[in-house]
Structure 1
Amino acid sequence: MRRVVITGQGAVNALGMSADETMRAMAEGRCGIGPLEFKDVERLSINIGGQIRGYRAEDHFSRQEIVLFDKFTQLALLAAREAMEQSGLQVTDALSRQAGVVLGTAGGGLQTQDENYRSVYEDGKNRVHPFVVPRLMNNAAASHVSMAYRLQGPSYTVATACASSNHAIGQAFQMVRSGMTDVMLTGGSESMLVFGGIKAWEGLRVMSKDGCRPFSANRNGMVQGEGAAVFVLEEYEHAKARGAEILAEITGFAMTSDASDIVMPNKVGAVRAMQGALADAGLNLDEIGYINAHGTGTAANDRTECAAVREVFGDHADALRISSTKSMHGHLIGGTGAVELLACIMALRDGVIAPTINHEEADPDCDLNVVPNVAQEAAVSAVLSNAFAFGGLNAVLALQKV
């Protein structure tokens, strides 16, 4: 099995327009959640979210490109551009055939879908733009990233709700490790902060009207966000030979299914996923110093996740640190695991543990070493990143310092 390292990272979300800006905001415990701004927002009972402020597509793309790209594709391309520039990777003809893209998204082109439903059903128009399907299809972002960098290997999209990005990153990791590819661009993108997107989530009654407070006893639901993060995964010797900066190493991945309920989390599935990632990485319990939790801020998720961590780690659960950065950037649904991977890299590379902000009151059902409100410095050599999705689909990544 070959070693797989991360040599580039890029991001755009409510905390910043780059990976570095996002990590600085995480370290400072900044909140990117605020009032939503789009048409008919006053008709919603939920009107807060982790929206990217001041974003203008024309600042980044030509008119011809904007016609082709839904916002979730635009965000993925911006993140991929940053990741590729940081990695310094040159895609030769030979590498082109040994490199690909796996991205996660849950909704795909929801901006396009929302706009065109309005056009047909509200405005009474009988025609839509001929590029509606290429804009809204879930694989649009992965396809455009592959075209932008001439990546001719395995390229596709994973859609597993809130675990989409972790599933995508895990599968890209396995491809490089097995020798199927030498380089993969991977991560996730989501932009469902539109009237229809929020209205649909309102129906589930899991959304907070006033803020995201994971693990806090007074938490009352999740808050949506938008954004993307993309990473360059590379075979270790390939990266070393070209003198690339190595940000972290992915060493384990596991995915499980609860096979029990479409919306309620199940501790057993989460336990098996964490145990599987540890086993895949060959890590002992006491080697994990930090867990980036799924931590949505709902009563059921946080309680179940904490119980699962307690069961997996036993006595060591009190020593490791845990936090949820969703408190800062919101829940990016299919893109969330990708943005949260930045917190894992920050812990390994910089020794900074991102906090769970808005942590106001201890919850006996979440009796772990939650990092509250202010970042902590700690020497960490191995971490886990958790993602647990509706449908009972779980994906956990293990990363180590190189």
Structure 2
Amino acid sequence: MWRGLLDGRHGIRELRGAEFEGLPVRIAGVVPVDPGELLPRPLARRMNRAALLGVLAAREAWTDAGYTEGGTRESGVDPDRVGVSMGAILGDASVLVNGDRRLRERGPRAVSPLTTPMTVPSQAASQISLDLHITGEARTVTSACASGTEAIGQAIDRVRYGRVDIALAGGAEAVVTPAIMASFAAMRALADGTAAARGVKGSPSRPFAGDRGGFVNGEGAGILVLEAEEHARARGARIYCEAAGWGLSADAHHMAAPDPTGRGVALALRRALRDAGAVAADVVHVNAHATATVEGDLAEAGALRAVLGRRSVPVTALKGHLGHLQGAAGGVEAVAAALTLHHALVPPTVGGDTTDEAIGLDVVRGAPRDLPEDGDVVLSNSFGFGGHNAVLALRRTR
């Protein structure tokens, strides 16, 4: 993923399946392989697509953190001191849809007994705990598109207050389904792909661009391994950054539209900085939520200007690369924010050649940019339908 972000590539494609025929929007950011083929069949058949993606991401994160492949037993880690914290809105909506179709077409005996346990949004968290034998806790956060970021924030506190020594935290979502796509299209929230049809180059998801026209639905999973500092240093772990703090707020404005004043977003930003023991002058980069909707990008930009002041802080928005991964967005984008600190390099924003003048931010475009040296904090933002606002503050380790 990191190389693709730096190179400015995107993974948004046309949906060619017969089930998407006739939909007004048929583009999405989809995982290009079948995750079920990457796990043994007896395991894969008991997981929905979001859980499959989550388990694969958790396995990668676990081994990247220096632990032994297989889980806590193989690593000699006390499983009671390890937790899972995952964000999801629905997880995988297709399981229930397919179960309902079987019921109507073939009767109740055709419905799999796995339908209900594979439908719940908590399946990714439970399957990760089963796969890696994690017994400390397995929690799921559902707060719309802020779910993954809030799940990481809650895990920060679980480690911070000594409830667990290690937490796997992030998000997993797979809701590129016909009904969800049709609903988003009916809301007029989706980019329709017509720019590409007109020969406009680049991603159809165009965060902060003057010609942005909505978000592109996506799927995926992203997970961090959070660990108490003394625990990590004692085993000689590679440390990407410090998970320094987080902040939450609620807009109390509308069931879907963002508050145009950005007041709630600004409150979450300030709370994240305060929780991290930081001030605005410490911020060297923002990984923006920026879904490429007109109203949402403006509200977030206004909140960032209000909190950060007149300083020129490099901002990037990754939904041009990835699409909007819904409850998983915060997990994947937190991984990118951690890598930004580790490599001291800010990936460019793709989609659109120029930034809307009304945004008023230093949006990184065209090529990666060196991370400034005059501070140590990166903010990663996630905001969701219903006014859910969550912000992570990550700190550079030197």
Question: Normalized against structure 2, the TM-score is what?
Answer: 0.91
Looking at structure 2, the residues matched to 117 and 205 of structure 1 have their Cα atoms a distance apart, in angstroms, of: 27
1:30 aligned onto 2:16: no
Instruction: State whether residues 223 and 335 of structure 2, in contact with CA within 8 Å, keep that contact through their aligned partners in structure 1.
Output: no
1:36-65, Cα deviation, whole Å (9 max, x unpaired): 13332122111001011132512x122222
Looking at structure 2, the residues matched to 189 and 39 of structure 1 have their Cα atoms a distance apart, in angstroms, of: 25
Looking at structure 1, the residues matched to 169 and 60 of structure 2 have their Cα atoms a distance apart, in angstroms, of: 13
Aligned to 2:210: 217
Looking at structure 1, the residues matched to 237 and 253 of structure 2 have their Cα atoms a distance apart, in angstroms, of: 44
Aligned to 1:167: 150
Question: Normalized against structure 1, the TM-score is what?
Answer: 0.91
User: 1:383 is aligned with what amino acid?
Assistant: V
Looking at structure 1, the residues matched to 86 and 16 of structure 2 have their Cα atoms a distance apart, in angstroms, of: 27
User: 2:135 is aligned with what amino acid?
Assistant: Q
1:186 aligned onto 2:165: no
Q: CA deviation at 1:376?
A: 1.5
Please list every run of 5 or more consecutive structure 1 residues that lacks an aligned counterpart in the other structure.
Answer: 1-21
Moved over 4 A (4+): none
Looking at structure 2, the residues matched to 54 and 276 of structure 1 have their Cα atoms a distance apart, in angstroms, of: 39
**Which residue of the other structure, out of 379, 387, 394, is the alignment partner of 2:382?**
387
Looking at structure 2, the residues matched to 33 and 281 of structure 1 have their Cα atoms a distance apart, in angstroms, of: 35
Looking at structure 2, the residues matched to 212 and 102 of structure 1 have their Cα atoms a distance apart, in angstroms, of: 29
Q: CA deviation at 1:341?
A: 1.2
Looking at structure 2, the residues matched to 283 and 109 of structure 1 have their Cα atoms a distance apart, in angstroms, of: 38
User: 2:18 is aligned with what amino acid?
Assistant: K
| TM-aligned CA distance change 1:375 to 1:114, over 3 Å | farther
1:229 aligned onto 2:222: yes
1:199 aligned onto 2:182: yes
Looking at structure 2, the residues matched to 114 and 375 of structure 1 have their Cα atoms a distance apart, in angstroms, of: 42
SS in 1 for 2:24: coil
Looking at structure 1, the residues matched to 355 and 223 of structure 2 have their Cα atoms a distance apart, in angstroms, of: 34
Aligned to 1:113: 96
Q: CA deviation at 1:161?
A: 0.9
CA RMSD of the aligned region, Å? Answer: 1.5
Q: CA deviation at 1:124?
A: 4.7
What pairs with 1:2-401 in structure 2 (closer than 5 Å)?
A: 22-55=1-34, 57-58=36-37, 60-89=38-67, 91=72, 95-121=78-104, 123-126=105-108, 127-210=110-193, 211-266=204-259, 267-316=262-311, 319-379=312-372, 381-401=376-396
- Count of residue pairs the alignment pairs up: 377
User: 2:36 is aligned with what amino acid?
Assistant: A
Instruction: State whether residues 23 and 342 of structure 1, in contact with CA within 8 Å, keep that contact through their aligned partners in structure 2.
Output: no
User: 1:114 is aligned with what amino acid?
Assistant: V
User: 2:67 is aligned with what amino acid?
Assistant: L
SS in 2 for 1:291: strand
User: 1:330 is aligned with what amino acid?
Assistant: G
Looking at structure 2, the residues matched to 362 and 147 of structure 1 have their Cα atoms a distance apart, in angstroms, of: 45
SS in 1 for 2:339: helix
SS in 2 for 1:132: coil
Looking at structure 1, the residues matched to 178 and 366 of structure 2 have their Cα atoms a distance apart, in angstroms, of: 31
Instruction: State whether residues 35 and 53 of structure 2, in contact with CA within 8 Å, keep that contact through their aligned partners in structure 1.
Output: no
Q: CA deviation at 1:119?
A: 2.5
Instruction: State whether residues 355 and 363 of structure 2, in contact with CA within 8 Å, keep that contact through their aligned partners in structure 1.
Output: no
Instruction: State whether residues 206 and 352 of structure 2, in contact with CA within 8 Å, keep that contact through their aligned partners in structure 1.
Output: yes
Instruction: State whether residues 39 and 195 of structure 1, in contact with CA within 8 Å, keep that contact through their aligned partners in structure 2.
Output: no
Looking at structure 1, the residues matched to 130 and 236 of structure 2 have their Cα atoms a distance apart, in angstroms, of: 26
Instruction: State whether residues 147 and 327 of structure 2, in contact with CA within 8 Å, keep that contact through their aligned partners in structure 1.
Output: yes
Instruction: State whether residues 114 and 196 of structure 1, in contact with CA within 8 Å, keep that contact through their aligned partners in structure 2.
Output: no
SS in 1 for 2:145: helix
User: 1:311 is aligned with what amino acid?
Assistant: A
Looking at structure 2, the residues matched to 101 and 260 of structure 1 have their Cα atoms a distance apart, in angstroms, of: 32
SS in 2 for 1:307: helix
Instruction: State whether residues 246 and 393 of structure 2, in contact with CA within 8 Å, keep that contact through their aligned partners in structure 1.
Output: yes
Q: CA deviation at 1:117?
A: 2.9
Q: CA deviation at 1:395?
A: 0.5
Looking at structure 2, the residues matched to 334 and 195 of structure 1 have their Cα atoms a distance apart, in angstroms, of: 18
User: 1:27 is aligned with what amino acid?
Assistant: L
Instruction: State whether residues 58 and 168 of structure 2, in contact with CA within 8 Å, keep that contact through their aligned partners in structure 1.
Output: yes
Looking at structure 1, the residues matched to 223 and 308 of structure 2 have their Cα atoms a distance apart, in angstroms, of: 30
Instruction: State whether residues 101 and 184 of structure 1, in contact with CA within 8 Å, keep that contact through their aligned partners in structure 2.
Output: yes
Instruction: State whether residues 35 and 49 of structure 2, in contact with CA within 8 Å, keep that contact through their aligned partners in structure 1.
Output: no
